[in-house]
């Protein structure tokens, strides 16, 4: 079984800026992944990351996520793709520097969508990379869309496709971003409480209270991510999704078997 990691674009970049990577944080997270692999040599990983202030800026500016007509100016599509690749290069280089055999895999080169949903993705290169003990690194990306011309496919959508449409079944998905899911926005409500566990008993209330992102995000924000992850745990028996923040040591601990008094866990049962 595999562990999927998603490094949120909102934490590895400053999403209120433009192409502003948080290099110290990316470096530290890479070293925490290396630490976890050293402690558990059989840990099988697939890593993804968001686009943050790289791709989201251009996608929002040119409306790539809403769709481009055939006769439109597609420069925005190219700029968005290029920005996403630049951030991917930064992340992969940090992983390589931490002695992690990371290899970049560009989703848009082999992916097609319809209505902003993945309809076909040739993931053979992901499997081949894994067979050679390499760690694939994917990222949220542009897509040629059969219904609306262009689309943005989030990292969560890509991980969900790998989990459901291939034999790369994950036992855990770790989303590194917000500290946790809360009963309200903790930035504006001092009485907001962390929700440690999401199950069928409280998912409706959680989705009702979930808000969007606090900066430019063309992939739908927190609510869409929670909704997708909930559908994924329902469809994948035994899968656990954990949302954690970036506190030092937290990712390394989450990749182990430690019980954490932090973040939010999503379980289907």
* Per-residue model confidence (pLDDT) at position 69: 93
pLDDT, averaged across the chain: 91
pLDDT at 207 over 90: no
The arithmetic mean of pLDDT across residues 20-40, rounded, is: 96
pLDDT at 213 over 80: no
User: Which pLDDT tens digit goes with each residue over 139-157?
Assistant: 999 999 999 999 999 999 9
Q: Which CATH architecture has domain 2-267?
A: 3-Layer(aba) Sandwich (3.40)
Residue found by looking up tokens 């530290």 in the block: 28
* Per-residue model confidence (pLDDT) at position 220: 52
Residue 155's closest CA among 97, 83, 204, 224? 224
Residue 203's closest CA among 231, 168, 244, 235? 231
The answer to whether the Cα torsion of 247, 249, 253, 259 is positive or negative is: negative
pLDDT at 212 over 60: no
Tell me the pLDDT band of 214, cut-offs 50, 70 and 90: very low
Query: What does the domain layout of the chain look like in residue ranges?
Result: 2-267
Tell me the pLDDT band of 115, cut-offs 50, 70 and 90: very high
* Per-residue model confidence (pLDDT) at position 178: 86
The arithmetic mean of pLDDT across residues 2-18, rounded, is: 90
The answer to whether the Cα torsion of 146, 223, 247, 189 is positive or negative is: positive
> What residues contact residue 262 under an 8 Å CB cut-off, 6+ apart?
179, 180, 244, 245, 247, 250
Q: CA 181, CA 264: separation in Å to the nearest integer?
A: 6
What pTM was computed for the model? 0.91
**How would you classify the pairing of strands 135-139 and 45-49?**
parallel
């Amino acid at each position: 079984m595999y562990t999927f990691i998603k490094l949120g674009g909102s934490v590895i970049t400053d999403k209120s800026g433009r192409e502003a990577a948080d290099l110290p944080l990316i470096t530290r997270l890479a070293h925490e992944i290396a630490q976890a692999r050293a402690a558990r040599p059989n840990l099988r990983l697939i890593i993804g990351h968001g686009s943050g202030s790289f791709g989201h800026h251009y996608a929002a500016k040119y409306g790539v996520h809403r769709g481009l007509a055939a006769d439109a100016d597609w420069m925005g599509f190219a700029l968005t793709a290029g920005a996403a690749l630049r951030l991917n290069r930064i992340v992969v280089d940090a992983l390589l520097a931490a002695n992690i055999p990371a290899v970049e895999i560009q989703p848009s080169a082999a992916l097609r969508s319809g209505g902003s949903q993945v309809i076909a993705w040739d993931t053979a290169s992901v499997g081949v990379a894994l067979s050679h003990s390499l760690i694939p690194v994917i990222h949220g990306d542009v897509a040629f869309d059969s219904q609306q011309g262009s689309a943005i496919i989030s990292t969560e959508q890509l991980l969900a496709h790998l989990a459901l449409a291939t034999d790369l079944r994950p036992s855990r998905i770790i989303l590194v971003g917000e500290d946790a899911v809360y009963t309200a926005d903790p930035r504006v409500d001092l009485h907001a409480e962390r929700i440690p566990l999401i199950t069928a008993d409280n998912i409706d209330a959680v989705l009702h209270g979930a808000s969007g992102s606090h900066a430019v995000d063309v992939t739908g924000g927190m609510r869409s991510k929670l909704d997708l992850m909930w559908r994924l745990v329902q469809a994948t028996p035994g899968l656990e999704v954990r949302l954690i923040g970036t506190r030092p040591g937290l990712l390394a601990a989450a990749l182990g078997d430690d019980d954490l008094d932090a973040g939010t866990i999503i379980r289907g049962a």
